Amino acid sequence: MLKPGPAWAVGAMSGTSLDGVDAALVLTDGERILDFGRTDYRAYSDEERSALRAALGCWPGDPGVDEAAEVVETAHAELLSSLLDAALVGFHGQTLAHDPDGRMGPRRTHQAGSGEVLAEVLGRPVVWDFRSTDVEMGGQGAPLAPFFHFACAKWAGLSAPVAFLNLGGVGNVTWVDPRQPGPEAVGAVLAFDTGPANAPINDLVRARLGMDCDEGGALAASGTADEQIVEHFLSHRFFHRIPPKSLDRNDFHDLLEAVRDLSDADAAATLTACAAAAVARGFEHFPDYPRALYVTGGGRLNEALMVALTRRLNCPVAPIEDIGLDGDMLEAQAFAYLAVRVARGLPTSGPTTTGVAGLIGGGRISYPD
């Protein structure tokens, strides 16, 4: 078991974009962040990415899932073996399917990769399966970074409500009031997925141009958004739901159909405008307008998306580096922080983050033999 007091933990996240695995060290007592440590990244090979892509939407027992889990475990073992100056590992795994509302069957969520296997290979206790308990208890199982975002706001010395936006495949936002004593306090955080972010843009440029992403947002910047499509997109029932709410990467797959007849540039501009409009719609749920929006995740490097956000919001929009945080590693750091919270028996989600009925601690711990 973890000794009392602060501990170094290494967190690892394999995001919905399927680009690779991020890992980062955090020194924390599970409440405050005391220091940030080394970070590293391991890209998936094309072959590995194909195995993961083939298993998207699949549940344990489905064909291809064991192969995907092996890819995830191998990549994490390779990456984490050089970051073991930590007492504990926080292993998110790769989300293959997420259905917290039971639209396709039983309510469930599926992150590929076994923490038991990793604990054996790495010789460290591994905290994993962070989302299942929350879903079993009636929550959305996501987002889980919000309690960490609260700790980040404290670490950065902020004293007024702000929002953190993660622009990965899907977007998720956390409104934080750092004047509250802790993330569990009433009125401290409100979080939810905003809508699709990079996933449809990537899918578009991959299908039409064979590119991985719209680098810097250059293609979108050269086009014009079709506001009618954006308006229609905002009529989706997801945007009428009161948070908490979460999304599966493929929930908006028909968005590509909507831009089918547009030029490449206009289609990219429209999907970029949709991502920004979804965030602006999300702001309507906040208790107070935030002082600033700090953007993390790969989408902060998409200039057209940052400009679209600035146009639609009434507060400064800045990359999270503006307050000294690392926008490439924030999710990995979140799972290091959450691992220590799990080991300390502290809650990792609650009614205003995942919609679970009360404060709960998710995650299970596997120890090496």
Ligand X SMILES: Nc1ncnc2c1ncn2[C@@H]1O[C@H](COP(=O)(O)OP(=O)(O)OP(=O)(O)O)[C@@H](O)[C@H]1O
CB nearer ligand AH0, residue 16 or residue 114: 16
Q: Taking Cα atoms as reference points, which of 201, 110, 98, 164 lies closest to residue 297?
A: 164
Q: How many residues does the chain have?
A: 369
Q: How far is the CB of 128 from ligand X (least distance, A)?
A: 16
Q: How far is the CB of 357 from ligand X (least distance, A)?
A: 26
CA distance 101 to 103: 6
Q: Which does 129 bind (CB under 5 to 8 A by kind): ligand AH0, ligand X, none?
A: none
- Write down the least CB distance from residue 349 to ligand AH0, Å: 9
In angstroms, the CA 110 to CA 132 distance is 8
| The token pair that represents 233 in the structure block | 């997109």
Nearer to ligand AH0, 52 or 145 (CB): 145
Residues in touch with ligand AH0 (CB under 6 A): 15-16, 95, 98, 109, 142-145, 166, 168, 170, 172, 193, 246, 331
CA-CA-CA-CA torsion for 30, 32, 34, 37, nearest 10 degrees? 50
Q: Residue 37 gets which letter from DSSP?
A: E
* Residue among 100 and 223 whose Cβ is closer to ligand AH0: 100
Shorter beta-carbon distance to ligand AH0: residue 132 or 180:
132
CB atoms under 10 Å from CB of 37, counted, come to 16
Compare residues 161 and 168 and give the one whose CB is closer to ligand X.
168
144 binds, among ligand X, ligand AH0, none (CB under 5 to 8 A by kind): ligand AH0
- The reply to whether 61 sits in an annotated binding site is no
Residue 142, contacted partner among ligand X, ligand AH0, none, CB below 5-8 A by kind: ligand AH0
Taking CA 248 as the corner, what is the angle to CA 243 and CA 249, rounded to the nearest 5 degrees? 125
Do the annotations mark residue 317 as ligand-binding? no
Classified as helix, coil or strand, 313 is coil
Is cis: bond before 287, omega within 30 of 0?
no
Binder of residue 145, out of ligand AH0, ligand X, none (CB less than 5 to 8 A by kind): ligand AH0
